[in-house]
Amino acid sequence: MRIEGHAVCLPPDIDTDLVIAGRYLRTKDQSIWATRVFEDLDPTLAGRLRGSVIIAGKNFGCGSSREQAAVALKEAGVVCIIAPSFARIFFRNAINRGLPLAQADLSCRDGEKVVVDFSAGTVTAGDISREIPPLSPRMLEILAAGGLVEHWRKRG
Amino acid sequence: MTTLSERILGAPAGEYVDRPVDRAYVHDGTGVLTLEAWLALESGEIACPDRTYVLFDHIIPANTSTTADLQHELRKFACGAGLHFSDIGDGICHQLMGEGTALPGDIIVGADSHTCTLGAFGAFATGVGATDMAVIWASGSTWFRVPETIGVFLSGRLSGHSEAKDLALTYVSRLGMDGATYRALEFIGDGTTHLSMDSRMTLCNLAVETGAKTGLCYADAVTLEYLRSFGEIVSTQAPPSCTYEQELDFELEDIIPVIAVPPRVDTILPASELCGLSLDQVFVGTCTNGRYEDLSRFASIVRGKKVRVRTIVAPASRTVLEDAAGTGILSDILAAGCTVIPPGCGPCLGAHMGVVGEGEVCLSTANRNFRNRMGVGGEIYLSSVSTAAASALAGEIALPGGDE
């Protein structure tokens, strides 16, 4: 699996309240989450996420278990998130929603081209490359299916 | 030579295992997405309805038509499918599960990050997202990576007005917001055995604020006595005989009242350094600090006095509220001028029942002070119940026992 996108840089410890605020949770309209994503961090960010690879600091997705955070990012067009570490519930949620995550400590320049190659186990931003630990076979299967629901239905 | 997590999950740290779960629960917030994902699975019936719980606590009673419609749909489904269901006003999901349902050795999953609260019973209890929960509804099981464990050694007893919450904020500060990511915390030592179950639940509740998968206490005589009061007869768990990946030590006599300053749970100051900070709201409650012990402590400080700032008190469950009414502490709280709201999460997540306004400062006994969490532009300071009580009386941050 190989993913390309433009870098969007974010600081460490991005909590899921910041990804999608509690006041927007009571709906099933996923387009609302896509437009409100990161509103309290930077209201202009949602418009720049289509085709992006987020390169964040450590502990991305900490806090609440709200799966709307992963859905919001995917719906807004984020194709992958790279961070030195992820909060574990967010990690599972993102994979379950078909949003790939890569663990690496990578310096970030906004807009730079980023390539994530899960088969080769590398991420490259500009001319800097880092190795990434492999995702478990199960997680790769879920991602390949497009998410846990699709994975489950395929398995029957 | 195994940790409690390894013992319960039956495999060494680092291994991936599939395990049936003993209890699985969602609330009105995460239940909506869970139901949506579950319907998309088209998997027939819920695998274990007798182990599956839908507990309304997040936005209760419903605040808007949209919320009401979503709750109506979930309520209808839960009752139709024969799941355990508790409606508005019964209490916070973690508290309800902690009133005689969560048992030592159980594997418990909840679609809420603070499911770790139930580790207080010697259970492996952890939060999952909605889609994971949907597959658990369909299959009755899920996968876990058995976590490495950090041993948190507690010795001695808390003194003065210091509470388990002060200890919890102190260990979160020591570890940092990602200091235990992917790991479990085990609370051990004689200091743990001196803590009540209400206090242990507070201690385990904050584990996720360090990134931990869960926090656990070994079931002992205190656990047994507590569960016996709910009609559950269980055995103690053999004390730890393992080595930990990392160890932390706390002398409980040294724990002082502290406050986590916005916007991070791991940034604490001694409460004494914030005395005089003007407050717009005090909030006492949540899955961290809304239990009977908390309300009793709060009442003992405000009894016969009047609060000088709007103060919201949310009992963690109907049982807590009924107990508080029965013993008279509810009357003390009301007579002090506090507003008591229905058992549930209240304004903790900024949805209703006490959202704060732009520029307002709230002192809360909850577990998160993230930016805008309780309302856009509001600031959240986190403290113990005693500090919240003293501050409510002063209208500004004040130390418990300051007027003694």
The residue in chain A having the minimum alpha-carbon distance to the alpha carbon of residue B265 is A63
- Per the DSSP assignment, residues forming a β-bridge with B185 are B150, B215
> Is residue B323 one of the residues assigned to a domain?
yes
Chain B residues touching residue A68 (CB < 8 angstroms): 33
> Can you read off the two tokens belonging to residue A134?
């492999």
The residue in chain B having the minimum alpha-carbon distance to the alpha carbon of residue A60 is B178
Task: Check CB contact of B68 with chain A, cutoff 8 Å.
Answer: no
For B176-238, where are the alpha helices, taking DSSP H only? 190-193, 197-205, 221-228
pLDDT band at A156 (very low <50, low <70, confident <90, very high): low
Q: Give the DSSP H or E segment for A129.
A: strand A128-131
Domain boundaries, chain A: 2-155
Which residues, including other chains, have CB under 8 Å from residue A72's CB and lie 6 or more apart?
A: A19, A20, A30, A33, A34, A36, A37
Give the residue numbers spanning the domain of B330.
258-394
pLDDT band at B404 (very low <50, low <70, confident <90, very high): low
Q: Which of A28, A85, A152 sits opposite B41 (nearest CB)?
A: A152
Mean pLDDT value across residues A112-130 = 95
Same domain, B300 and B244: no
Same domain, B113 and B84: yes
Chain A residues touching residue B77 (CB < 8 angstroms): none
CATH at residue B328: 3.30.499.10
b/e A104-125 (16+ beta carbons within 10 angstroms → b) = bebebeeebebbbbbeeebbbb
Interface of B with A in 243-302 (CB under 8 A): 264
Angstrom distance (rounded) from CA A54 to CA A58 = 12
CB contact under 8 A, A22 and B350: yes
Q: In angstroms, what separates the C-alpha of B181 from chain A's closest C-alpha?
A: 6
Task: Check CB contact of B42 with chain A, cutoff 8 Å.
Answer: yes
CB contact under 8 A, A136 and B66: no
Give the end of a domain, one of B188, B222, B254: B254
Which residues, including other chains, have CB under 8 Å from residue B355's CB and lie 6 or more apart?
A: B347, B374, B375, B378
DSSP string computed for B22-89: SEEEEEHHHHHHHHHHHHHHT--S-S-GGGEEEE--SS-S--SHHHHHHHHHHHHHHHHTT-EEE-TT
Give me the number of domains chain B comprises: 3
A&B contacts, CB < 8 Å: 122
Which residues, including other chains, have CB under 8 Å from residue B403's CB and lie 6 or more apart?
A: B390
Chain B residues touching residue A92 (CB < 8 angstroms): 128-129, 132
pLDDT at B69 over 90: yes
Distance, CA of B177 to chain centre: 17
pLDDT at B87 over 90: yes
pLDDT band at A10 (very low <50, low <70, confident <90, very high): very high
> Can you read off the two tokens belonging to residue B90?
């019964």
pLDDT tens-digit readout, B347-380: 999 989 999 999 999 999 999 999 999 999 999 9
> Is residue B388 one of the residues assigned to a domain?
yes
Task: Check CB contact of B24 with chain A, cutoff 8 Å.
Answer: no
Asked if A38 and A16 touch (Cβ cutoff 8 Å), the reply is no
In whole angstroms, how large is the CA radius of gyration of chain A? Answer: 15
pLDDT tens-digit readout, B216-251: 999 999 999 999 999 999 999 998 888 899 999 999
Interface of B with A in 170-189 (CB under 8 A): 177-178, 181-182
Q: Which of A23, A59, A70 sits opposite B177 (nearest CB)?
A: A59
pLDDT computed for residue B239 by the predictor: 84
Same domain, B90 and B24: yes
Q: Which CATH superfamily is domain A2-155 in?
A: Aconitase, domain 4 (3.20.19.10)
Same domain, B130 and B84: yes
Asked if A15 and A65 touch (Cβ cutoff 8 Å), the reply is no
Angstrom distance (rounded) from CA B8 to CA B21 = 11
Q: Which of A89, A147, A149 sits opposite B127 (nearest CB)?
A: A89
| Cis amide prior to B147 (ω within 30 degrees) | no
Same domain, B141 and B9: yes
Give the end of a domain, one of B100, B127, B145: B145
CB contact under 8 A, A40 and B43: no
Same domain, B59 and B186: no
In whole angstroms, how large is the CA radius of gyration of chain B? Answer: 20
pLDDT computed for residue B91 by the predictor: 98
Same domain, B201 and B90: no
pLDDT over 90, % of chain B: 97
Give the end of a domain, one of B100, B121, B145: B145
pLDDT computed for residue A71 by the predictor: 96
Asked if B340 and B316 touch (Cβ cutoff 8 Å), the reply is no
Same domain, B217 and B333: no
